[in-house]
Structure 1
Amino acid sequence: MNRRELIDVERIQDEPLIEMIRGNILENVHRGRVSVVSVEDGKAVYSLGDDNAPTFVRSTAKPIQAIASLLDGTAEAYGFEESHLALLAASHRGTKEQIDVLEQILALTGVDEDSLAVQPGYPVGRAGRDRLLVEGYAPRKLFHTCAGKHLGVLAWCKLKGWSLEGYIHPDHPAQREILARIEKWSDSEAGQVTLGRDGCGFPVAAMPLSKLALAYGRLANPGMSGDNEAADVVNKITSAMNANPELVEGPKRLASLLLSDPNVVAKSGAHGVFTFGLRKQKLGVAIAITDGTEVAWPYVAMSILKRFGGISPETKHQLELTFPEVFINDAKEVAGSWKAVMDNIEQS
């Protein structure tokens, strides 16, 4: 791939969303784009920056990537329970509970761990990684953050009689069906979805940010998707995510905190992408932070939730405790603060 084939990010209009202030000096500005879409008509009700620009969906796609396999009866064939379904949509951090469920999936499906296309390593979560190192565990493919997704697709391939070799390649029947489902669920038109390569080896879709927001609004409201065939299995996936929020990501992760609220379906993606859907409000939200950081997510999400509602007082309290407006240094003193400047920007 040469330079001319790459997306010129300088042409994607973004806006300043979050400022980090240390002392009385502006230290960082996190720019990005936001799209809030109504499931009822598929139109944006709020946006900042260019919400039609292509955005790689990264791991926010995981619940959608599971649709085709579950429609083919994968869960019933292997006796998957809610905890297993949650791991199919997870970006695990290596907690003991997450690894235990992944081990159960291996046992239920009979998939050989060596079949996973990823390389052996340690979890992305520091606590999980440290625990395994202290206990003397060697690197494993199962410790990869996307192991649940890979196991789900391998189990599906085994059920369908498809080759397990090359299951991550775009021309594999599993990946062709996954892409078709992503396009249909996001209501994307021909040419709106293009493919890149994700960190775990899977093809990764790039679509307009507004389409990703719509997809998450539909995950929260599958009965309004117009895809009656998929609505039932989507409800099973999202119900499993809400029932097992810390399996989906991990303790104190933004997505897991939001998933603890029954009104919210949430998932993060790498390099600055975060998504959630609100059931009662019938809205989908997609956030793309231009510099790829995660630290701005909570403050963007809380700004949007302040505007549209959608979470309980208990969830709001947990968010504020976990992601306070002031940040504390290692001496336990206030070192600075976060400010949602997006609140003051007139929407696009």
Structure 2
Amino acid sequence: METKEMPKDAPLVIMNRGGLVENVHRGRVCVVSAEDGKVIYSLGDVHAPAYVRSTAKPVQAMASLLDGAAEAYGFEDRHLALLAASHRGSREQMAALEEIVSLTGLDESLLAIQPGLPVGRQARDEYLSGGGKPRKLFHTCAGKHLGVLAWCKLKGWPLEGYIHADHPAQKEILRRIKLWADAEGEQVTVGKDGCGFPVAAMPLWRLGFIYGRLACPELAEDHEAAAAAIRITGAMNAFPEYVEGRNRLASLLLSDPNVVAKSGAHGVFALGLRKERLGVSIAVTDGTEIAWPYIAMSVLDRIGGGISDETNRRLQATFPTEFFNDAKEIAGRWEVELELQGRVAEEG
């Protein structure tokens, strides 16, 4: 049996119950300059690869915008937000997806994903109580799939096989991701994402760089790509709850105009800060997302800014450090062990 080398990680968040450490969530964290990709703070091996997963969705959506898909189909900001979304199946999200289907003339059956139910508990319960049946549009990546299908239709590319790595759309998406990460000359590993799309793996610091540039697209040499980034991230900020959902970390952060943020599956999270010109990438080794809010808040505190007082209050209220049992008693605390290694000496 082949043994895989594990990336060097570090303890990030501890679950403390009754004074004892019950769980430890390990991982890697990187803070990167949007201007040159220089690593400013890090913890763990940030040069080891990580699959970008759904954090890539804004760049995937940019590829279709560069070919005029928004103008061709009359997409508005709420539709663009869904192209970059991991939606939860809320009524508002589903209404926007239905509008995309209508505007593009696509049929839901074309989606190369399995029918399912809303991911969000409340949306799922409401849907099932009304006798609802599984459908493909409920897949959390349905917006991305619709966007790529619409792009393929516009370009005259085959709709069949649009999720395969050798399809023209996927080749162009990978090229765009590498360009935005300033990694066009590098070999990257490509696996299969949960929704069937190819997914690239690259050094974790490059994911931070991608988000630094999404937050500060004016730094990009490609002005057309910069305009597409401004449009897609602007839509995400205008409709934050369409991107993920109510009380989701990325949506809470996106409600702040200084932040671009998106989660990925299996522990990957990224955000960019406009005023500070920084990108942040997080990879939790055990794949959990429960540790993200505490890591993100700690990093923002270390940076000393990034979000408004109101955004900070909302994060603290949504993700308190104390957790409760079913009797509504305090059962323990989340404790962050984030001793970021600073590399500020390299800047001087």
Q: How far apart in 2 are the matches of 1:43 and 1:87?
A: 31
Correspondence for 2:320: 324
Q: Identify if the C-alpha distance between structure 1 residues 346 and 43 changes in structure 2 by more than 3 Å, giving closer, same or farther.
A: closer
Contact kept? 2:42, 2:341, Cα under 8 Å: no
Aligned counterpart for 1:153 among listed residues 148, 167, 176: 148
> Is the alpha carbon distance of 1:27 and 1:85 closer, same or farther for their aligned partners in structure 2, counting shifts above 3 Å?
same
Cα gap change, 1:153 to 1:124, in 2 (>3 Å): same
Point out where structure 1 has 5 or more consecutive residues left out of the alignment: none
Residue number in structure 2 paired with 1:41: 36
| 2:212 is the alignment partner of 1:217 | yes
Q: Distance in 2 between matches of 1:301 and 1:173?
A: 36
1:152-187 Cα deviation digits (max 9, x unpaired): 000011111111000000000000100000000011
CA offsets, 1:223-271, max 9 Å, x none? Answer: 1122222000110000000000000000000000000000000000000
Alpha-carbon contact 1:185-1:227 (below 8 Å) kept:
no
- The CA distance in 1 between the partners of 2:217 and 2:97, in whole Å, is 27
Asked if the contact 1:192–1:208 (Cα under 8 Å) also holds between the matched residues in 2, the reply is: no
Q: 1:214 touches 1:284 (CA, 8 Å); kept in 2?
A: yes
The alignment's TM-score, normalised by the length of structure 2, stands at 0.96
Q: Does 1:166 align with 2:166?
A: no
Q: What SS class does the counterpart of residue 250 from structure 1 fall into?
A: coil
TM (norm. structure 1) is 0.96
The corresponding residue for 2:335 is 339
1:315 maps to 311
Query: In structure 1, what is the Cα distance between the partners aligned to 2:157 and 2:139?
Result: 23
CA contact (8 A) 1:158 1:164 kept: yes
Match of 1:276 among 267, 271, 291: 271
Q: Which runs of 5+ in 2 are unaligned?
A: 344-348
Q: Which residue of 2 aligns with 1:98?
A: 93
Structure 1 residues 159-238: aligned runs within 5 Å: 159-238=154-233
Separation in structure 2 between the aligned mates of residue 322 and residue 107 of structure 1, nearest angstrom: 36
1:74 maps to which of 69, 78, 82 = 69
Check conservation: 2:78, 2:239, Cα contact below 8 A: yes
Distance in 2, matches of 1:241 and 1:227, equals 21
Quote the RMSD (CA, aligned, Å): 1.2
Q: Structure 2: which amino acid aligns with 1:158?
A: K
Paired residue for 1:128, among 112, 123, 126? 123
Say if 1:68 and 1:181, in contact at 8 Å, map to a contact too: yes
Paired-residue identity, %: 67
Q: Distance in 2 between matches of 1:219 and 1:11?
A: 29
Residue 84 (structure 1) aligns with: 79
1:193-239 Cα distance to aligned partner (Å, 9 max, x none):
22000000000010000000000000000011222220001100000
Distance 2:6 2:100 in 1: 44
Which shifted more, 184-193 or 82-91? 184-193
Counterpart residue number, 1:25: 20
Residues 41, 340 of structure 2: 8 Å contact kept? no
> In structure 2, what residue type is equivalent to 1:335?
A
> In 2, distance between residues paired with 1:225 and 1:275?
19
Shift of 1:347: 5.0
Between the aligned partners of 1:237 and 1:11, the Cα distance in structure 2 is 35
Q: Distance in 2 between matches of 1:276 and 1:196?
A: 23
Aligned pair partner of 2:51 in 38, 47, 56? 56
Separation of aligned partners in 2, 1:347 and 1:132: 49
Q: CA deviation at 1:297?
A: 0.1
